[in-house]
Amino acid sequence: MRFQDVWFRYDRRAPWTLRGVDLTLEPGETAVVAGPNGSGKSTLLQLAAGVLRPAKGLIAERPEVVGWVPERFPADQPFTARTHLRHTAAIRGLDGTAEIEHWARRLHFEHFLDVRLGRLSKGSAQKVGLVQALLAPPGLLVLDEPWEGLDAQTREQVPAIVAEVVARGGSVLVSDHLGEVARLPGARRWHVRDGQVHAGERPAAKKVIELAVDAAEAHETVARLRSAGFDVLTVRDEVPLS
């Protein structure tokens, strides 16, 4: 996907939010959008997702299936989570039953599938917001502050979900306030400031090494690895081989 000299403002008399943005996101690439509050991160993501249109310029080669997870999932709808997800699947040309069950199991929300969206907590609604973007494998996944509002268990899943989209050749664009970038190995950084976007270098290819330590030493080992400059991605209990 390519941004070609993209300009955007919310109103014809308003100042430009973004000016002359030129960017490329390759298939299989992840970019993390950073920048001060109000700099235009969400605006950039909405342009990428096709939710907003540029006033000038062009966004070329946007993949056909775009999964868009807004910062706040609009939960004021008269549907249950299941009905909402079924509608979304139908728009994608899918039956969706198997996909909805898969994601409800994986993100632990089978118990509220038949609860109306308006009655869900913010975090629960965010899960539905995440899943509606994943029912059909996205060629582009756009995540606006994906860690915000999600419970810890679901947050742990975000890097794995991103990795799965990328492994299928999809691209991922994610904004990040909470400094969780380190958990997305290989991600590029796009910095938004004063209406312009500066793309950082493509990071060198990395390998992920799994290692096991005694539970009592886990905390200290993580601290030692981090202080030595390594990105510690996950810490989990050992799953015994069956």
Ligand X SMILES: Nc1ncnc2c1ncn2[C@@H]1O[C@H](COP(=O)(O)OP(=O)(O)OP(=O)(O)O)[C@@H](O)[C@H]1O
Total interface residues for ligand X by CB under 6 A: 10
Q: Which one-letter DSSP state was computed for residue 30? A: E
Residue 17 within binding range of ligand X, rule CB under 6 A: yes
41 contributes a contact to ligand X by CB under 6 A: yes
User: Is 37 among the residues that bind ligand X (CB under 6 A)?
Assistant: yes
Residue 147 CB, nearest distance to ligand X (Å)? 13
Q: Is residue 42 involved in binding ligand X (CB under 6 A)?
A: yes
Mark the segment that binds ligand X (CB under 6 A) among 31-39, 106-114, 124-132, 181-189.
31-39
- When binding is defined by CB under 6 A, the residue of 1, 23, 35, 100 that contacts ligand X is 35
Residues 135, 81 contacting (CB under 8 angstroms): no
Instruction: State the minimum distance, in angstroms, from the CB of residue 113 to ligand X.
Output: 30
| Partners of 190 in beta bridges | 33, 199
Applying CB under 6 A, among 8, 19, 34, 39 the residue interacting with ligand X is: 39
Q: What is the distance between the alpha carbons of residues 26 and 239, in angstroms, rounded to a whole number?
A: 35
Query: Residue 38 interacts with ligand X (CB under 6 A)?
Result: yes
Would you give the DSSP letter of residue 116? Answer: B
Angle value at C-alpha 48, between 67 and 143, nearest 5 degrees:
45
List residues bridging with 171 in a β-sheet: 140
Quickly count helices (H) and strands (E) in the chain. Answer: 7, 9
In the complex, the residues that contact ligand X under the rule CB under 6 A are: 10, 17, 35, 37-43
